[in-house]
Amino acid sequence: MTRLFGTDGVRGQANTVLTAPLALKLGAAAAQVLTADLPSHKKRPTAIIGRDPRVSGEMLAAALSAGLASRGVEVLRVGVLPTPALAYLTDDYGADIGVMVSASHNPMPDNGIKFFSAGGRKLPDAVEDEIERAMADLPETGPTGTGVGRIIEEAPDAEERYLNHLREAVRTDLSGIKVVVDTANGAASVVAPTAYAAAGAEVTPIFNTPNAYNINDNCGSTHIEQVQRAVVEQGADLGLAHDGDADRCLAVDAEGNVVDGDQIMAILAVGMKERNDLRDNKLVATVMSNLGLKLAMAEQGIDIVPTKVGDRYVLEELQHLDLSLGGEQSGHVIIPEHCSTGDGTLTGLSVMARMAETGKSLKELAAVMTVLPQVLVNVPVADKTSIAGDPSVVAAIAEAEEELGDTGRVLLRPSGTEELFRVMVEAPEEAVARRVAGRLAAVVTAV
């Protein structure tokens, strides 16, 4: 049976895969599981629900609210806010459950549901599995009378609470920095430009007029060419591109060159080490991070701690080892002192703060790392779970690793959300990486 939860919550096309009845059951089951261990003296469990601006979010948030309230949970709906804002507010309001309705960087027809526990933490796999089991055995009836939860439709101070949190997290004056920010017509369309301007930056926002249908539509971090063009046209110092729920941030230097999540982590790690803020001189990064990051950090005396792909696994490792910085090449950057998940706006503020503190351009800062050519091939397969152990695939990987030696890297893994097998190859030259990746993809296809 296919697992309902993927690498980042429940996701699918709204109203076909991800329906209102499914959201209703998810809300009720989450209430049952996530409030099971609350102390008996607590009067009533509470939940906070936020969403990005896509049209189906209204429907799904309403269904989730009903499901939670039907099990006695008091629900506060905070409206359109980024995922990291929802995570922060779950903790700040002292809520027991946080729910974000968003499909992040996916196109508008899709939507998703992400749950957070008390403190704004993403759920471990085991708890998600427990919610999934609870859905199958959910009682049809719940508490009655005063036992039914209420739904509060407005939280007028939610946005300001989050903005105050960002102001406290990054206090560097950004005056004199000119930035273009692409908010993907998404959840950060208001808060990201506001936060950057409040810190003193001169802000030019683009794609910041959501209409419920245009989220991620040829804009944002998955279409970074938009902000590249705007930065050059505006003569800005840098550009920042968020995804639909603003847990990601990619950057562009003044010449229009992309500065990805690996380079951002390198920039921030060096700065934190200089300030003695990089605990144990370690940086947590997924196995998809560029080999160039590992080589650059080694030169700086910083060790890489590898994890599985997914910011939740980065966070788990940060918590387990009590470390202070981690993230993904895609632009999820986690600074546990200030956030419990990737926070694109905080990342943007941190990058600009480093520019202001050093007086260096983003291009100069990014030069700490040389990005090795990386080729990724997504191979459609009938059963992604059977590929890795196939003898022909194992032999092909061994041959590729012997060919590349210490100068490159090979990584094959199943997609967490689709029936795809991902083939990634890094090499000193792109032509070599493409040749090896193509050879490996052909072997996977033949299995």
Asked if the structure places residue 5 within a domain, the reply is: no
Task: Please check whether residues 203 and 324 belong to one and the same domain.
Answer: yes
The predicted pLDDT at position 418 comes to 72
Task: Please check whether residues 152 and 186 belong to one and the same domain.
Answer: no
The predicted pLDDT at position 144 comes to 95
In order, the DSSP letters of 227-284 are HHHHHHHHT-SEEEE--TTS---EEEETTS-EE-HHHHHHHHHHHHHHTT-SGGGEEE
pLDDT, tens only, 12-55: 999 999 999 999 999 999 999 999 888 766 679 999 999 999 99
Q: How far is CA 344 from the centre of its chain?
A: 8
Q: Is 104 annotated as a binding residue?
A: yes
Q: Which of 97, 129, 156 is the last residue of a domain?
A: 156
Task: Please check whether residues 391 and 288 belong to one and the same domain.
Answer: no
Task: Please check whether residues 109 and 127 belong to one and the same domain.
Answer: yes
Distance CA 57, CA 13 (A): 12
Q: Is 262 annotated as a binding residue?
A: no
Distances from the Cα of 8 to the Cα of 113, 202, 313, angstroms:
8, 34, 10
The question of whether 340 is a catalytic residue gets the answer no
The predicted pLDDT at position 386 comes to 80
Domain total in the chain: 3
Q: Which of 340, 366, 392 is the last residue of a domain?
A: 366
Helix, strand, coil percent values for the chain (each to nearest 5): 40, 20, 40
Q: DSSP class of residue 303?
A: E
The predicted pLDDT at position 38 comes to 81
Q: Which of 56, 102, 104, 117 is catalytic?
A: 104
The predicted pLDDT at position 41 comes to 61
Asked if the structure places residue 210 within a domain, the reply is: yes
> What's the one-letter identity of residue 366?
A
**Domain containing 238 — which CATH number?**
3.40.120.10
Q: Strands, DSSP E only, in 66-188?
A: 74-80, 97-101, 110-117, 121-122, 151-152, 178-182
Task: Please check whether residues 341 and 419 belong to one and the same domain.
Answer: no
Distance CA 301, CA 303 (A): 7
The predicted pLDDT at position 382 comes to 81
**Domain containing 432 — which CATH number?**
3.30.310.50
Q: Is 243 annotated as a binding residue?
A: yes
Q: Which of 334, 366, 398 is the last residue of a domain?
A: 366
Task: Please check whether residues 265 and 136 belong to one and the same domain.
Answer: no
Task: Please check whether residues 345 and 390 belong to one and the same domain.
Answer: no
Q: Is 245 annotated as a binding residue?
A: yes
Query: Are the C-beta atoms of 184 and 219 separated by less than 8 Å?
Result: yes
Domain that holds residue 242: 161-366
In angstroms and rounded to an integer, the radius of gyration of the C-alpha atoms of the chain is 22
Task: Please check whether residues 97 and 182 belong to one and the same domain.
Answer: no
pLDDT, tens only, 351-386: 999 999 999 999 999 999 999 998 999 999 888 888
Would you say how long the chain is, in residues?
447
Q: Is 24 exposed, middle or buried (0-12, 13-18, 19+ CB in 10 A)?
A: buried
Task: Please check whether residues 314 and 221 belong to one and the same domain.
Answer: yes
Task: Please check whether residues 323 and 290 belong to one and the same domain.
Answer: yes
Q: What is the pLDDT along the chain (447 residues), one digit of tens a residue?
A: 578 998 789 999 999 999 999 999 999 999 999 998 887 666 799 999 999 999 999 999 999 999 999 999 999 999 999 999 999 999 999 999 999 999 999 999 999 999 999 999 999 999 999 999 999 999 989 999 999 999 998 899 999 999 999 999 999 999 999 999 999 999 999 999 999 999 999 999 999 999 999 999 999 999 999 999 999 999 999 999 999 999 999 999 999 999 999 999 999 999 999 999 999 999 999 998 999 999 999 999 999 999 998 888 999 999 999 999 999 999 999 999 999 999 999 999 999 999 999 999 999 999 999 999 989 999 998 888 888 888 999 999 999 999 998 888 999 988 866 778 999 999 989 999 999 999 999 999 988
Closest CA to 308 of 392, 413, 399: 413
Asked if the structure places residue 3 within a domain, the reply is: no
Query: Are the C-beta atoms of 328 and 265 separated by less than 8 Å?
Result: no
